[in-house]
Structure 1
């Protein structure tokens, strides 16, 4: 039975996680960070079939919210994920093996998962599905050919969707136009970071890899139309340079969010690959 926990409060905003436990003491914990360009998403976005697969493989699953942009900028979002890990290690009131925490994220959640490798308090393993290690790339700062082929979103509509209060959860339907506008205009950093590009190095995992960076699994489709496949290739190269154990699984012809359709055998095999990797690194170490 899933249980909701509040891991942090910011003013009137409660930031929550949803635990899907297994009936086994001191089992490893998989923390899932949803995508959504840091602009939309909820802890309930995690695919239910994936949760079942992870549970059956011996993992507790904790799917989390975090404050969303542009109401909260990148420093605050990073702070939420840092505070989450501290809470898990020091205060979480449920049973799991605190020496065996994996952080898994998709897209922008994959970026945040990689960012945990730069924290003072880090997970044991990181899994990034079509994430990225650099928020300053041209693909995020220039109009996206993929999104400019879609119906143009006027700036006025994007701004109308921004709330007057901090939020930590929102379905895609209420926020997608903000992201679409940002990608069409090359203004994602303007809306999400709120600072000059020259100050963003500390928010780029690829620029902050050290010898203690957690073991990392990268999965990316080589036909990704949103986050370039090259982002994971570059991340692997830098992990190799730092002698950090890692693996890149390329999904031939894989588009963005290739893992979301769990009726597709490619998606099932991708999650099975993640499970195999996590069992090797966390359970059978």
Structure 2
């Protein structure tokens, strides 16, 4: 039976506001754990919740002996990429100190969470004091490896009703580490419609964005599982292809014009994706 526990990890100060950083631990109380999944949610770094994993994922993963630690992190634009990554690395250190076990762990994320999982793995590989992840699982993630798609207006999002700057500003008045899809999805629509997404998550020099916060120069010498849809309207398939060319992950590809295709729990693609993910973990 699925068991859910809330854990306080630490806190981070963003613009004079202290944000509590927490994890939700999911376990199956009838299954012996064999590995830990550290989960990072999606939302374009502008919105999202650590509790966005569908019930199907939670049940299948935990029944396969995976403990899931779903962690939150401060959100842009009040928090920039440097602070977001700083928070994630601090949370990983807290988890290692408080829940140190012999179990291996995998970094797992969907969309922006997949990007953060891959970037965190690259940062961890440079820090000897951390226990290294056994692998990374990215569902429709990215690494800012190809040009143009993330810093210019998105044709897909321009098909939606335009979000005004005043609406956007009204949604970002205070720093946050949780922002619901139904209230804050407009922040991401605005970012992609205007082409301002990159400038909302990073305000330094381009040189250091590509050096420190893209995967263009990153080295990842660990197993990676990457899933993507060929017609993804949000993160182009070319970005996935560049990720594959650079890191040679275990691939899961479907032919569909969808981004987060696994949100449909009834879909055969979702069932196959979860099965392939569990097999990747078991074989790594």
Match of 2:228 in 1: 220
Residue 127 of structure 1 aligns to a residue in which SS? strand
Residue 279 of structure 2 aligns to a residue in which SS? helix
Residue 20 of structure 1 aligns to a residue in which SS? strand
Question: Please, what is the CA RMSD of the aligned residues?
Answer: 1.7
Q: Residues 220 and 251 of structure 1 are in contact (CA less than 8 Å); yes or no, is this contact kept in structure 2?
A: yes
Residue 90 to residue 136, structure 1, CA distance change in 2 (3 Å): farther
Match of 1:243 in 2: none
Match of 1:17 in 2: 23
Tell me how far apart the structure 2 counterparts of residues 207 and 251 of structure 1 sit (CA, whole Å).
28
Pick from 205, 208, 213 the counterpart of residue 218 of structure 2: 208
Q: Residues 26 and 96 of structure 1 are in contact (CA less than 8 Å); yes or no, is this contact kept in structure 2?
A: no
Indicate whether 1:103 and 2:107 are aligned: yes
Q: Residues 29 and 96 of structure 1 are in contact (CA less than 8 Å); yes or no, is this contact kept in structure 2?
A: no
Q: Residues 209 and 238 of structure 1 are in contact (CA less than 8 Å); yes or no, is this contact kept in structure 2?
A: no
Q: Residues 27 and 97 of structure 1 are in contact (CA less than 8 Å); yes or no, is this contact kept in structure 2?
A: no
| Aligned pairs (5 A) from 1:27-42 | 27-42=34-49
Match of 1:277 in 2: 280
Indicate whether 1:187 and 2:196 are aligned: yes
| Structure 1 position 27, deviation (Å) | 2.7
Residue 149 of structure 2 aligns to a residue in which SS? helix
TM-score for the superposition, normalised by structure 2: 0.90
Pick from 171, 176, 191 the counterpart of residue 185 of structure 2: 176
Match of 2:172 in 1: 162
Tell me how far apart the structure 2 counterparts of residues 149 and 196 of structure 1 sit (CA, whole Å).
31
Pick from 1, 4, 7 the counterpart of residue 5 of structure 1: 7
| Structure 1 position 3, deviation (Å) | 0.8
Q: Residues 22 and 55 of structure 1 are in contact (CA less than 8 Å); yes or no, is this contact kept in structure 2?
A: yes
Q: Residues 139 and 228 of structure 2 are in contact (CA less than 8 Å); yes or no, is this contact kept in structure 1?
A: yes
Residue 145 to residue 103, structure 1, CA distance change in 2 (3 Å): same
| Structure 1 position 184, deviation (Å) | 0.5
Residue 84 of structure 1 aligns to a residue in which SS? helix
Which portions of structure 1, spanning 4 or more consecutive aligned residues, are displaced by more than 6 angstroms? Answer: none
Q: Structure 2: which 5+ runs fail to align? A: none
Residue 6 to residue 139, structure 1, CA distance change in 2 (3 Å): same
| Structure 1 position 169, deviation (Å) | 0.7
Q: Structure 1: which 5+ runs fail to align? A: 241-245
Residue 141 of structure 1 aligns to a residue in which SS? coil
TM-score for the superposition, normalised by structure 1: 0.90
Q: Residues 191 and 197 of structure 2 are in contact (CA less than 8 Å); yes or no, is this contact kept in structure 1?
A: yes
Q: Compare 138-147 and 4-13 and name the one that shifted more.
A: 4-13
Pick from 113, 119, 126 the counterpart of residue 115 of structure 1: 119
Residue 259 of structure 1 aligns to a residue in which SS? helix
